[in-house]
Amino acid sequence: MMQKWYGCVDMNPAESVLHYVADPMCSWCWGFKDARDEIFKAIGEDVRLEFVMGGLARDSDEPMPEETKSYVKEAWHQVSARTGAEFNWDFWENCQPYRSTYPACRAVIAAGDKGPEMFDRIQHAYYLEAKNPSEIEVLCTLAVELDIDEEKFRADMASIEVEAKLQAGFNTRRRIGAYSFPSLVLEADGKVQFLCEGYSSAQEVLQKWNETDQN
């Protein structure tokens, strides 16, 4: 399956694209991971797949307010209850949370061909290892673990090119009207079809997929 991990800036109008709108620090995207993998495996190479970084929370170095902490913790409980996803609650004791996911989104883009691995590595580090992907040093450590050159990765994270791709992804998300994470959106023949808008099971998504014109 052909994969891109940022905004589709060069889409061929005749091409069918499945947009996966997600954020590596979105707990519902973490809960969706097993379903996502099952969906991608079932679809195979039938359509071009594009990860679109959603940008859940802007850049900020301000500590997360208590009200926001409570909101995020409650979301974790809800995701766990509905999907069975595991969470390491030590994060809230060991880390200084920030309401900032743009750095993690940039890291996926800066990882280039290893963007898929970086997306999953960030999620694993955040939710199971109680590491904070809002921090550049954490992201650089994860990049090194994936055999990505740290110096280049740091430079790319701060580059105009990566920022442009991040913004292109935001533009794609707005254009197709995807405002819930995760969303799977099929764009084909000038039409936009939502396979999921927020969390859905693999079975629900694949049923909708089988009803599309791609089959």
With beta carbons less than 8 A apart as the criterion, state whether 39 and 184 touch: yes
Give the pLDDT of residue 48.
85
Whether 12 shows a pLDDT value over 80: the answer reads: no
Whether 215 shows a pLDDT value over 70: the answer reads: no
Mean pLDDT value of segment 188-211: 94
Mean pLDDT value of segment 14-40: 93
Whether 28 shows a pLDDT value over 80: the answer reads: yes
Give the pLDDT of residue 47.
83
Burial state string for 68-90 with b = 16 or more CB within 10 A and e = fewer than 16: eeeebbeebeebbeebebebeee
Ordered by start, the domain boundaries in the chain are 3-210
Rounded Cα distance between 125 and 111, Å, is 16
In tens, the pLDDT along 104-125 reads 999 999 999 899 899 999 999 9
Fold of 3-210: Glutaredoxin (3.40.30)
